[in-house]
Structures are given as C-alpha cells and as structure tokens.
Structure 1
Amino acid sequence: MVEQLNEDERAAALDRLDEWDYDDARDALTRSFLFADFSEAFAFITRVALLAEKADHHPEWSNVWNRVDILLTTHDAGGLSRRDVRMAEAIDLLQSS
C-alpha cells in the first residue's frame, strides 16, 4: 500500500519542487506548462504518459492548445505520496532536457 506523506515530508517535498504548487483541497501537486504550440504540448504529454505508465502512476491533466496542466495525487493513499513527488521530479527532468 502507498502511504500518504506526513506534514514534514510534504513540506520538504514542496521545498524541493519549487516550480510546483500545492493544492490543499486535493492534497496534490499542480503545475502548468506552456509551449510554443499544440504540437509541442502534445509531445510533452506523450513523454509524460510514457513515464507515468512505467511508474504505474497516472496523473490528472488537461491540455488547451499550448498549455498543459498537471495534478499529481495518489488516490490509493488518500493524498500526496512519495509516488507523486517522484513523478513530479521526473517531469521536471523531462522539461529541463
């Protein structure tokens, strides 16, 4: 079973993930990404989807033209977990490459 982060773990993760916001109502990480156009946004979604499948983690997201919004939370844990933090870190690596 995946465990929800405690308060200290959550605070430490948020300190490391400075590009991500915290959604208190959903106990989730959120981030918006902007791209030059729809093709770049969709290519990014595809790369994230491949990472997510390997990690057995399926983010919530939406895409409108050049913008991709991602929300990470672990439903099985009832909120934010290490799995979400690892996924956010992996997405950040994709974005920086």
Structure 2
Amino acid sequence: MSTLTPIEIEQRLLRLPEWDYADNAIHAEFEFENFKDCFSAMSRIAFECEALNHHPEWTNEYNVLKIILTTHDAGGVTDKDFKLALAIEHIVEEDED
C-alpha cells in the first residue's frame, strides 16, 4: 500500500473538517456529553477497526477521545487511514443525533 502525498492528504481532509494532518498522521479530537457516551463510541469504533484490520492510536480522558491514524506498515498516511476516518465520522455523527 502506498502512502499519500501531503497534497493528496490535504485534499481528502477537505471532506473531514474535524481532522488535521501533522507528524505523518491524521488526527482528530471528539468531545462527548459524558464518559459513557465517549466509551460507547469507542466500542463501536473498535468493531469498525477490526472489520478494516486497521487500529488507531487513541486516548480517552473522561469525555474526550483523541485519535491518530497512520499506516505504520507503509510509513505514512494511506487510503486505509481515510477509510477508517470516514467510518469514525459516521459513528460520531450518529452519537450527535
């Protein structure tokens, strides 16, 4: 799997306004109403990660979830990262409804 160029990454991020590109990865931070809602979203994201066989670096502090996506095997950001980012966005959007 080949890595995307910084220009390709920035173009794709236009569809993901919650995400930024830095340190050879894409990053996002999501805030939920409470810990339970945050953990629930993380659980649903975990199933998507398993389905895509791609796992994020993430941290959770009370109601805030921070996610870093990069494809370690490829040495940078790939299509795989954007597929997972889009899936995460759909899960988070469902929580907001």
Q: State the TM-score, normalized to the length of structure 1.
A: 0.91
Q: Give 5+ residue unaligned stretches, structure 2.
A: none
Matched residue of 1:58: which SS? coil
Output the amino acid matched with 1:14.
L
Q: Give 5+ residue unaligned stretches, structure 1.
A: none
The reply on whether 1:82 has 2:71 as its aligned counterpart is no
The reply on whether 1:63 has 2:55 as its aligned counterpart is no
Superposition CA RMSD, Å: 1.0
Deviation (angstroms), 1:17: 1.3
Aligned residue in 2 for 1:6: 5
The alignment covers a number of residue pairs equal to 94
Aligned residue in 2 for 1:40: 37
Deviation (angstroms), 1:6: 2.0
Q: State the TM-score, normalized to the length of structure 2.
A: 0.91
Moved more, 3-12 or 80-89: 3-12
Deviation (angstroms), 1:85: 0.6
- Please point out which of 40, 47, 50 is paired with 1:50: 47
The reply on whether 1:96 has 2:79 as its aligned counterpart is no
Partners of 2:77 and 2:87 in 1: how far apart? 16
